[in-house]
């Protein structure tokens, strides 16, 4: 599905932006890059900034017109810093755009189109689009670097894909994960309670203070190992207290 | 609230990454940058890549230890590419992190901490943190450029802020927005229906075809101006048809 998502850059001026775009794409599982009339490509700077994503650079398709890049696409989303006068459907929020794009990409190619660093997309290029999207930003300073805009929209596409039932994305899991049993927690809390009394911290049988601190430790969700460390600490402290 | 959110970069190697970070921050309304022992700063490359965010660069605080940067913070989130052995609470999803951070930033400073380009954060630095966050990415190529990681997390913070009831974020609105009235739509649909019959497109009184095409135009949500253009087109076509 992610392979159906095409990133299209129109007349990019700085080859470094092409390289940074390739890297941004690959971190989010996108590999399909098309360049319309790049000013300077291939270029050392593009390769350098692509870091480990040189395959995306090497497989990039270079064409002269946007229509060639998107003819087979069922959805073409133009990324634009500001609303245009041509009233295409507009996504105010990139996450809505990403849900729509990942849905369509199940069955056919879709494209996200980014314009020139300074002037964005022309009206003719907007006419090749089915939708527009803006990245909500600081109204006083809202123009993102080109490759940063690609990174954000690629990230939102990846996020929409992760949240789908049929994605097989797996979060990293910490290795140790069996929590202590209720019995182990109860033993610990009893031990803590005895320490609170024997140390003179609790002078009257005030269940409240004991409960509050016990709740804190429960909320901390100690692992079995941590609980064992705590018990050891309590025992060391206890050994200095007078018997009661 | 956004001014309570501090971006902290630890021992950044490339001054360009500091500049690109400043730009990424400012596009998302963040201005509070702290640098721990940057290798080369101030630097021309940092200024150049900050584009219009030189104020963020100029106001950046430079200190020697992470503790100095975050001592007054109530929450310190370490951005890390992989889980560490120290079991801090971990946000699998940056949007969860952003909701937590924007909530706390209502009343006190919070920090997002980013490590070195190659080696991330040391264990001592992780100990200064209250939480960790990772950016879910391609398992085969998941290390984002430092300023790209800042851009994504800053974007998520801005998003969480936008979604709060008390934010005053305003989406760009298209200028023309009064839709046509029901009466105007009905007139148009009747006009279209007449054309379908008079042209011979509909040979039997098949309400279905008329309804389906009329529904398409309703779904397109034409503006008053567009409706007027369509009426004009229908009239021009009509003028060539035989009277019935």
**pLDDT tens string for chain A (244 positions)?**
899 999 999 999 999 999 999 999 999 999 999 999 999 999 999 999 999 999 999 999 999 999 999 999 999 999 987 766 667 888 989 999 999 999 999 999 999 999 999 999 998 899 899 999 999 999 999 889 999 999 999 999 999 999 987 778 888 766 667 889 989 999 999 999 899 888 888 877 767 888 888 889 988 888 898 999 999 999 999 888 876 5
- Using the Cα atoms of residue A100, residue A102, residue A103 and residue A107 in order, give the sign of their dihedral: positive
Is A20's CB within 8 Å of B145's CB?
yes
Q: Where are the beta strands (DSSP E) in A43-145?
A: 61-63, 75-79, 90-91, 110-114, 131-133
Instruction: Give the ipTM of the model, two decimals please.
Output: 0.87
Which is nearest to B25 in space by CA: A141, A134, A158? A141
Residue B216 host element (H or E): helix B207-219
CA of B145 vs chain A CAs: smallest distance (Å): 8
- Chain B within 8 Å of A137 (Cβ-Cβ)? yes
β pairing state of A131-133 and B5-10: unpaired
Does the beta carbon of B18 lie under 8 angstroms from any beta carbon of chain A? no
Instruction: Write out the DSSP string of B46-110.
Output: HHHHTTT-HHHHHT-EEES-HHHHHTT-SEEEEE-SS--SS---EESSHHHHHHHHHHHTTTS-E
Inter-chain touch B23–A159, beta carbons under 8 Å: no
Count, residues in chain B:
244
Mean pLDDT to the nearest integer, B182-203: 89
For all residues of chain B together, what is the average pLDDT?
91
Contact A27 B144 (CB under 8 A): yes
Tell me how many residue pairs between chain A and chain B have CB atoms under 8 A apart.
101
Nearest-CA distance A89 → chain B (Å): 10
Comparing B44-58, B148-162, B183-197, which segment has the lowest mean pLDDT?
B183-197
> Shortest Cα distance from A159 to chain B (angstroms)?
8
A145 with B51: Cβ contact below 8 A: yes
**Common-topology check for domains B2-162 and B175-239:** no
Element counts in chain A: helices (H) and strands (E) = 10, 7
Mean of pLDDT values over B182-206: 87
Residue range B163-190, pLDDT digits in tens: 987 778 888 776 667 889 989 999 999 9
Residue of A nearest to B85 (CA): A174
Quick one: which H or E segment has residue A153? Answer: helix A146-162
Q: How far apart are CA B224 and CA B178, in angstroms?
A: 7
Q: CB count, 10 Å around CB of A92?
A: 15
- pLDDT at B102 > cutoff 90: yes
Q: Domain A175-239 maps to which CATH number in 3.40.50.280, 1.10.8.590, 3.40.50.10090, 2.70.98.60?
A: 1.10.8.590
- Judge whether residue B238 has pLDDT over 70: yes
Q: Is the CB of A148 less than 8 angstroms away from the CB of B24?
A: yes
- Helical ranges in B145-181 per DSSP H: 146-162
Whether B23 and chain A come into contact, CB under 8 Å, resolves to yes
B172·A142 Cβ contact <8 A: no
Alpha-carbon distance of B215 to A132, in angstroms, equals 24
Residues of B in contact with A164 (CB under 8 A): none
CB contact under 8 A, A141 and B174: no
Question: What pTM was computed for the model?
Answer: 0.88
Q: Are A188 and A221 in contact (CB under 8 A)?
A: no
* Nearest residue in chain A measured CA to CA from B51: A145
Contact B20/A at CB under 8 A: yes
Task: Look at B131 and B168; give whichever has higher pLDDT.
Answer: B131
Question: Which residue from B20, B87, B159 is facing A145, i.e. has the nearest CB?
Answer: B20
Q: Does B123 touch chain A (CB under 8 A)?
A: no
The verdict on A178 touching B (C-beta cutoff 8 Å) is no
Q: What is the dihedral of CA A224, A228, A229, A233, to 10 degrees?
A: 150
Whether B148 and A144 lie within 8 Å, measured CB to CB: no
To probe the interface with A, which of B172, B173, B174, B180 has the most A CB atoms within 10 Å?
B172
B24 touches chain A (CB under 8 A): yes
Q: Where are the domains of chain B?
A: 2-162, 175-239
Angle between helices B94-104 and B146-162 (to 10 degrees): 60
**Per-residue pLDDT at A201:** 86
Q: Is residue B50 pLDDT above 70, yes or no?
A: yes
For residue B204 the two structure tokens come to 């039997």
pLDDT single digits (tens) B59-79? 999 999 999 999 999 999 999
Q: Do B148 and A20 touch (CB under 8 A)?
A: yes
Residue B136 sits at the chain A interface (C-beta within 8 Å): yes
Residue A155: list chain B partners with CB under 8 A: 135, 152, 155
Name the pLDDT band for B22 (thresholds 50, 70, 90). very high
CB contact, 8 Å: B205 with chain A?
no
Closest CA to A27 of B146, B215, B192: B146
Q: Which residues of B touch A162 (CB under 8 A)?
A: 136
Q: What is the pLDDT of residue B84?
A: 65
The answer to whether A151 contacts chain B (CB < 8 Å) is yes
pLDDT given at position A84: 66
Contacts of A68 (CB under 8 A, 6+ apart): none
pLDDT tens readout for residues B153-170: 999 999 999 998 777 888
What is the CATH code for A2-162?
3.40.1280.10
In chain B, what residues touch A139 (CB-CB under 8 Å)?
A: 170
Using left for φ > 0, alpha for ψ between -120 and 50, and beta otherwise, residue A11 falls in: left
Taking CB atoms and an 8 Å cutoff, what residues of chain A touch B93?
Answer: 159
Q: Looking at residue B170, what is its pLDDT?
A: 81
Contact yes or no for B5/B108 (Cβ under 8 A): no
Which has more confidence, B210 or A158?
A158
């Amino acid at each position: 599905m992610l392979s159906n998502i095409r990133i299209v850059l129109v007349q990019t001026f700085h080859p470094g932006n092409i390289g940074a775009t390739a890297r941004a794409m690959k971190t989010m599982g996108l590999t399909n890059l098309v360049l319309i009339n790049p000013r300077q490509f291939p270029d050392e700077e593009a390769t350098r900034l692509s870091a480990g994503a040189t395959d995306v650079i090497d497989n990039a398709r270079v064409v002269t017109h946007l229509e060639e890049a998107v003819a087979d696409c069922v959805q073409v989303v133009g990324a634009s810093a500001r609303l245009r006068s041509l009233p295409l459907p507009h996504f105010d929020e990139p996450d809505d755009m990403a849900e729509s794009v990942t849905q369509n990409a199940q069955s056919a190619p879709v494209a996200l189109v980014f314009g020139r660093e300074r002037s964005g997309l022309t009206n003719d290029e907007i006419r090749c689009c089915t939708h527009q999207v803006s990245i909500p930003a600081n109204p006083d300073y809202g123009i993102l670097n080109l490759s940063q805009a690609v990174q954000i929209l690629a990230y939102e596409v990846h996020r929409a894909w992760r949240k789908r039932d049929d994605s097989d994305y797996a979060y990293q899991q910490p290795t140790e994960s069996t929590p202590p049993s209720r019995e182990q927690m109860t033993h610990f809390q009893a031990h803590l309670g005895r320490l609170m009394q024997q140390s003179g911290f609790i002078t009257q049988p005030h269940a409240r203070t004991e409960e509050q601190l016990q709740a804190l430790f429960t909320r901390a969700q100690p692992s079995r190992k941590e609980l064992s460390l705590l018990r050891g600490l309590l025992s060391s402290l206890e050994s200095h207290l007078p018997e009661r």
